[in-house]
Structure 1
Amino acid sequence: MVQRSFFRIPALFWASLFLIGTLIYIWRLQQPQPLIEVPSDVLPLQCVSYAPYYKPGMNPTLKGTFVDPVQIEQDLQALSKVTKCVRTYSVSQGLDYVPKAAQKFGMQVILGAWVGWVDADNMKELELAVQQANQYPDTVRGLVVGNEVLLRGEQTEAKMHEYLQWAKERTKVPLTYADVWEFWLKYPTLEQEVDFVTVHILPYWEDKPVAIDQAVAHTASVMGHLGTVFKKPLLIGETGWPSQGRQRFRAKPSVVNQVLYVRGFLQAAKQTGWQYNIIEAMDQPWKRELEGTVGGFWGIFNDQLQPKFNLQGPVSERSDGWVPYIIALVLAAGAVGWGFHKQLPNSQKALLGVVAAGLGLHGFLQVDYVQLAARNTLEFAALGGFILLGWALVLLQLRHWLGLTPKSCIEQCLLRLFAIGLFVTSAGLAFNGRYLDFPLILSWLPLIALLISLLTDEESDATFAPGRQTGIWFTVVMVLLAANLSVAVAMMEPGNLTAWWWSAVCGLALFVLPAKSMQLGHKADCARSV
């Protein structure tokens, strides 16, 4: 009885509900949220990490990369409005110009010398760094010999002692080594070679990631412990929070969370007297290739050199304005206009408008997601293809709702491709998911459209030829594997609500895709082969 009552509800009703839900979702993301306020005297920031590789195509890992001195001056001029110090990580690729440029703007530099695998390259880097430190002693406030070298396992503790001793003999600039706080505890003897201890405290990247509401307290706890271990001054060499990317356990990247952490940290630093360096000045798109989406979005400036947030006032997660609504309205108007041209009934014209608006809103969010998450041509193609696959499934459902002749063969093939996509994504998240995102926004629209078709189509009891049964079982196996892997991912990361939402997507697919495939069985107009 309940099933029959569902069948009597037209697709227009369900599609309208989904559209309203989407509108509310986007609207909520755009609403300013009141957050902790920090006094204006926390500015300028003590220091920020500076890497100039934020423009398209720039990547320090590419041989031959060189940063124009004009860009460095422009960058430091912009940064001088929020800080009087920058930390660098290398003096190669033109970055040896940073001290000279900083001097022009009255800024100081924590100068970094990159230490990697090759000793000859390391010595060349150290020689140039020492030369710059000695040439600009009033500008270079510290020389960092190596960054997270021991964490990466590229040199031994003994070798780091040698590098620090070599530098100490050749400059009077204060020396330090920078690494995550756990590795300073693992190699405490390095303290004897440095003038101050530079530790990285990144609650998001901890082995046990810390939720945003506990992140500043975690940093304070770590600093308290380090203060009992080391006698020399402590510098928090890196701390911050990402504005985009994959949730890890309870640690969720977001614009609001980034502001929450930075504001809370600055308030704590003022109260405790911590010396710190915020990571980082600008978003670094190239880091997405190494660390996933999250790697590219730690900056206080975006890749257009615009501030991402203020230290006072409310903050919203998205700032799209009217753009998504205008896109939805234009597509809806075009679809309704086509309905008038075809002289369709008013109910069908309304359905066209609702579906087009939904496609516009979700398409806007989906394209934005792909621009953030895709790191290379292959991923652009895969994610873009998944979007097109979802849109095709939605349009095929629209044919059903309009009473047009179904394209059952095409739809069966697309259902199987969609099932494969879910399986591949879940497998990637399960076996190599540290840097992979959950593509929720790419999945909801087609799945809801398929569910609406199931709710509004009374035809059932399909019969199939053996070949078609094989195809349906293939779909079942793919989504069953995807669902099981998604649950495994969620269980491996307690507190990760995004992971559980992905499990919900796969669970819905486990019902919807096979059911839809069976519903199409007796309508199929294609060959019996899979």
Structure 2
Amino acid sequence: MSFPPSSRGRRLVAWSVLALLALAGAARWWLLGRPVALPDAPSARIACVSYQPFRLEGETPYDVNAFIPPERIDADLSALSQRFDCVRTYSQGQGLSAVPEIAARHHMQVLMGIWLGSDARANARQIELGVATARKYPQVLRAVIVGNEVLLRGDLSEAVLAGYIREVRAALPASIPVSYADVWEFWLRHPQLASTVDYITIHILPYWEDQPVPPERAIQHVADVYAKVRQAFPGKRVMIGETGWPSEGRQRRGAAASVVNEARYLREFLAYAGKVDLPYNVIEAFDLPWKRAQEGTVGGYWGIFDTHARPKFAMQGPVVEVQQWWLGWLGGAVCALLFVLAGLRRRRWQRRRGWLALGVAGFASGTAMAWQIRQMIYACRGAWEWSVSVAACLVALFTALRLASWLAGRLASAPFKPAPAGRLRNAWLFVLALYGLLLVFDGRYRDFPLGVFALPCVGYALTAWLDERRRMPSREALFLAAWLPVLGGAVVALELGENPVTWLWLLFNVSIAASVFAAWRRARAVPVMLGDSP
């Protein structure tokens, strides 16, 4: 015996899904506002921190005309000296050559960087400025680091890099150590380079490893890598030149970027470093918006302080992920009201079930949209990205409102009206497939815009569940719907199933694809399958 799609059982399932979505949205925001207990750091004071003053919107070290006035550097180092004994810089010029002199006034030391790239003339200028500064302020410098991740970027060969290091070593007094900094694997691949430096500087970033390490195993990973490098270079001192954790951005397998995880990693690393007495530098002092252009959202959020020089967390006590978590509930309430007000023109909703359905759907949509807006605040870098993101949110809300209106009518047992689909659903199918392709083939730095896609994907799935019409979807819709689960599954597979965000992405892909195939199945079914059996 076959039952009509709008049977009581199906309506009950639809009610359950709407309620579950609203509760899940409310619970997610509430949980983000709960204090998380973490181990305390042994001290709020940190040995050394990476310092780049390019922390205001629009500032970037790649702008050759950029210049940071000494007054700003002085204000930064005055604040940093309360927490740090040393700062690490990466380049010369653009105002950074003043760092050693200013650091001395604040009783700080400097790991002074000389930037090397593929431009020989720029390299010569960097070395000239670096050598001059080092000779002028030798008592302030812990070391001069000649080049940063040059081999990782592929800017120079090992032989050319070694020549630059020897040039600087020969130009400086023996009292100033000279090193080179790179990801730890590249030191193991180029062991001969060790003969050119006084000590080895390695970067260990568990989040960025080719096999990302979750925060609960991150410190053990650091300890294992540090031991491996020391074993590979017996008799050579090894320093961790960069280590840290991001507070925002996409998750990589089990490595989630969050404020709580950043606080946890830093506290646990400081405890480990104190026990084994290793030299280290953490990355970094401030969040750097310009890095988002290179590494996606996550690149801009490795700072212990935000762009306004405010600490993101304390070194003792519980940590809260989202201080203003109640804004998510507020977004849900606003959308619930919006959906109900939009239903005023529908006389058929003069039933409590219809109004309730609109309110619940609106609240669920609002909590999802609030999360998307939060992601946009961290991710969007300019007018174009803001325009595209806002437009996508508005279209998603319009789609959700249309679908919620139809659902409310069906759940209130109003006279049947065909469910909205057509071109708007096809547009969402296309955009979802396009973004899925980008995630599969170029997804390392891309966020998952779950808040935007949740609304149409779940909405179309629910309307298909209650729809009774028989209209064949277009070939284009069927083609795109067939690919969405494949692309979503590929995203899950790329992260070995360890990233829960990718499973949600797959669920949304399957949901909207199912709405297309449900319509196709109904259109092909014989009439007796659409009603009660004779």
Q: TM-score, normalised by structure 1?
A: 0.89
Aligned partner of residue 142 in structure 1, secondary structure: strand
CA distance in 1, matches of 2:454, 2:391: 15
TM-aligned CA distance change 1:412 to 1:107, over 3 Å: same
Aligned partner of residue 413 in structure 1, secondary structure: helix
TM-aligned CA distance change 1:407 to 1:243, over 3 Å: farther
Which residue identity is paired with 1:122?
N
Matched, 1:433 2:443: yes
**16-25 or 300-309, larger mean C-alpha shift:** 16-25
Do 1:386 and 1:421's aligned partners in 2 also have CA atoms closer than 8 Å?
no
TM-aligned CA distance change 1:227 to 1:396, over 3 Å: same
Matched, 1:217 2:227: no
Counterpart of 1:528? none
Do 1:293 and 1:435's aligned partners in 2 also have CA atoms closer than 8 Å?
yes
Counterpart of 2:116? 115
Which residue identity is paired with 2:48?
C
Instruction: Map residues 52-71 of structure 1 onto 2, 5 A cutoff.
Output: 52-71=53-72
- 377, 391, 395: which one pairs with 1:389? 395
**117-126 or 255-264, larger mean C-alpha shift:** 255-264
Counterpart of 1:94? 95
- 25, 30, 33: which one pairs with 1:30? 33
Do 2:353 and 2:408's aligned partners in 1 also have CA atoms closer than 8 Å?
no
CA distance in 2, matches of 1:269, 1:315: 22
CA distance in 1, matches of 2:20, 2:208: 39
- 18, 25, 39: which one pairs with 2:21? 18
Counterpart of 1:476? 478
Query: Cα distance, 1:512 vs. partner?
Result: 2.3
CA distance in 1, matches of 2:300, 2:21: 32
CA distance in 1, matches of 2:494, 2:338: 46
- 394, 402, 405: which one pairs with 1:399? 405
Which residue identity is paired with 2:459?
A
Do 2:241 and 2:280's aligned partners in 1 also have CA atoms closer than 8 Å?
yes
**289-298 or 69-78, larger mean C-alpha shift:** 69-78
**97-106 or 404-413, larger mean C-alpha shift:** 404-413
Do 2:114 and 2:127's aligned partners in 1 also have CA atoms closer than 8 Å?
yes
Do 2:51 and 2:285's aligned partners in 1 also have CA atoms closer than 8 Å?
yes
Per-residue CA distance 1:208-234 (angstroms, 9 max, x = gap): 222222211111011111112222211
Aligned partner of residue 21 in structure 2, secondary structure: helix
Which residue identity is paired with 2:514?
F
- 189, 192, 195: which one pairs with 1:189? 192
Query: Cα distance, 1:487 vs. partner?
Result: 1.2
CA distance in 2, matches of 1:328, 1:500: 24
Matched, 1:75 2:85: no
TM-aligned CA distance change 1:440 to 1:229, over 3 Å: same
Counterpart of 1:6? 9
Query: Cα distance, 1:359 vs. partner?
Result: 3.3
- 450, 453, 467: which one pairs with 1:443? 453
Aligned partner of residue 417 in structure 1, secondary structure: helix
Counterpart of 2:107? 106
**142-151 or 76-85, larger mean C-alpha shift:** 76-85
Seq. identity, %: 36
TM-aligned CA distance change 1:341 to 1:392, over 3 Å: closer
Do 1:200 and 1:239's aligned partners in 2 also have CA atoms closer than 8 Å?
yes
Query: Cα distance, 1:492 vs. partner?
Result: 2.5
Per-residue CA distance 1:251-304 (angstroms, 9 max, x = gap): 222222212211111111011111100011111111111111111111111122
CA distance in 1, matches of 2:146, 2:95: 18
Aligned partner of residue 281 in structure 2, secondary structure: strand
Instruction: Map residues 106-505 of structure 1 onto 2, 5 A cutoff.
Output: 106-172=107-173, 173-230=176-233, 231-333=235-337, 336=340, 344-375=350-381, 377-403=383-409, 411-457=421-467, 459-460=468-469, 462-463=470-471, 469=473, 471=474, 473-494=475-496, 495-505=498-508
Query: Cα distance, 1:137 vs. partner?
Result: 1.6
Query: Cα distance, 1:516 vs. partner?
Result: 5.8
Per-residue CA distance 1:113-164 (angstroms, 9 max, x = gap): 1011111111111111111112112212111111011111111222222212
Do 2:145 and 2:181's aligned partners in 1 also have CA atoms closer than 8 Å?
yes
TM-aligned CA distance change 1:406 to 1:143, over 3 Å: farther
**253-262 or 272-281, larger mean C-alpha shift:** 253-262
Do 1:427 and 1:482's aligned partners in 2 also have CA atoms closer than 8 Å?
no
Do 2:465 and 2:515's aligned partners in 1 also have CA atoms closer than 8 Å?
no
Aligned partner of residue 236 in structure 1, secondary structure: strand
CA distance in 2, matches of 1:384, 1:520: 36
Mark the runs of 5 or more structure 2 residues left unpaired by the alignment: 525-534
RMSD (Å), alpha carbons: 2.7
Which residue identity is paired with 2:50?
S
CA distance in 1, matches of 2:460, 2:295: 35
Q: TM-score, normalised by structure 2?
A: 0.89
Mark the runs of 5 or more structure 1 residues left unpaired by the alignment: 522-530
Aligned partner of residue 171 in structure 2, secondary structure: coil
Which residue identity is paired with 1:397?
L
Which residue identity is paired with 2:195?
Q
Which residue identity is paired with 1:82?
R
Which residue identity is paired with 2:463?
S
CA distance in 1, matches of 2:379, 2:357: 32
Aligned partner of residue 169 in structure 1, secondary structure: helix
CA distance in 2, matches of 1:147, 1:10: 57
Per-residue CA distance 1:371-430 (angstroms, 9 max, x = gap): 333445554444433322321211111331354999979741110111011111110011
Counterpart of 1:525? none
Per-residue CA distance 1:480-505 (angstroms, 9 max, x = gap): 22221221222232123322332222
Which residue identity is paired with 2:465?
L
TM-aligned CA distance change 1:174 to 1:348, over 3 Å: same
Aligned partner of residue 276 in structure 1, secondary structure: coil
CA distance in 1, matches of 2:523, 2:140: 72
CA distance in 2, matches of 1:492, 1:247: 13
CA distance in 2, matches of 1:303, 1:357: 33
Do 2:214 and 2:254's aligned partners in 1 also have CA atoms closer than 8 Å?
yes
Query: Cα distance, 1:342 vs. partner?
Result: 7.9
**20-29 or 318-327, larger mean C-alpha shift:** 318-327
Do 2:207 and 2:255's aligned partners in 1 also have CA atoms closer than 8 Å?
yes
CA distance in 2, matches of 1:139, 1:506: 57
CA distance in 2, matches of 1:480, 1:169: 64
Query: Cα distance, 1:83 vs. partner?
Result: 0.6
Query: Cα distance, 1:61 vs. partner?
Result: 1.5
CA distance in 1, matches of 2:360, 2:184: 53
- 510, 514, 523: which one pairs with 2:513? 510
TM-aligned CA distance change 1:406 to 1:242, over 3 Å: farther
Which residue identity is paired with 2:356?
A
CA distance in 2, matches of 1:341, 1:418: 27
**15-24 or 287-296, larger mean C-alpha shift:** 15-24
